[in-house]
Structure 1
Amino acid sequence: MITVLLADDHALVRTGYRLMLNAQPGITVVGEAADGLEAVTRCHELRPDIVIMDLHMPGLDGVAATERVTAELPETRVLVLSTFDLDENVVAALRAGANGFLPKDVSPEELVDAVRTVHEGTAAVAPRLLLGLIRTHVRGAPSQAPARIRGRTPLDGLTARELEVLTLIGGGRSNAEIADALAISPNTVKNHVTALFAKIGARDRAQAVIVAYERGLVRPGE
């Protein structure tokens, strides 16, 4: 059973989510919170598997609450939902440790799928948001030179193979596709992914994609 906590300052929104999620097999809503501070407190009390977190709430906002939850309760994953799907909001949420970011206009089916995806340990970011995020970072990058020739960066500790894997992740490749491209086994790819995530401080694939674009490993058209 996947346990869920709902954090949103609108009671009607929480009620809608609760009714929808409780109707799904294997998912149950165990609590609610009306602001970020209450969300953190309730997470400590209830230890839910997933928090569905609104971004803009009074007091402690969703980004700050996400940062606290993921730091203090690493076993709890955060799925951010917001009406404000600007690129900077997505980046802020993912950097705070969110495992997913969806706009509030997603369908019920998409929300349920995202809850299950995040529970499995995979990032859930709406495709249109991730594409917009990537385009913004590519346009805003002053240099597209790979990080390895731009001086010391968080990528300095990566091996040559890990750098190749990160570049392919930035290009949207799955582990199976990376294995084929590099002529190595899927298990070897998985080991490289685990190691490089630890070195760059990425919790999941979505954060790794951001790093790849920020560091100029991937460019449009390549």
Structure 2
Amino acid sequence: MENDTIRNIPISSPSKFSHSSSSSLPPLATQTVMSPCAACKILRRRCAEKCVLAPYFPPTEPAKFTTAHRVFGASNIIKFLQELPESQRADAVSSMVYEASARIRDPVYGCAGAICHLQNQVNELQAQLAKSQVELMNMQLQQSNLLAMICMEMKETPQQSMDNFISSPTYSSDYQNNLNFFEDNTSPNLWEPLWT
């Protein structure tokens, strides 16, 4: 396989075999040889100096051209690029490679299938989000209603509970028993010294 880098090949002078003196020989010239673009390598043709595919399919990225070539074909790619101004060609190649990759994965729908699938996911997520927001609002309303009920009961409870407690038979009997106990224990004998 050829090296993908630019090589400098020295061109030897034909005067090697001539009888002229070595002082009159010009210095060795170098000629730059570029390796073919990925497209020309795959198509096994000579890469011309002004190859329309070379700027967009470098020799380091052969898979890029292979993918596009498999779906669109080399002649269609060249035709598309020649019809576009140079400023739009890079974007066109990116689009072709992306569409070709999508067509390989989904031969029927390609990019449209991927977009449709993503749109369905977005719709499902939006529905789930709306449902969660409704549930959250219901929980917040329940919480505020519960807090309002607790506050109302706390305002009413101290007075009612005191009234109920005093009027209850348990409180009155306990109060009477406490009074009787106090009266029973206030006899004069209670205050006599325990030892003398």
Q: Please indicate the TM-score interval, normalised by the length of the shorter structure.
A: under 0.3
TM-score by length of 1: 0.24
Q: Which structure's residues are more often strand, by fraction?
A: 1
Report the TM-score when normalising by structure 2. Answer: 0.26
User: Of the two, which has the highest radius of gyration?
Assistant: 2
Higher relative contact order (CA 8 A, sep 6+): 1
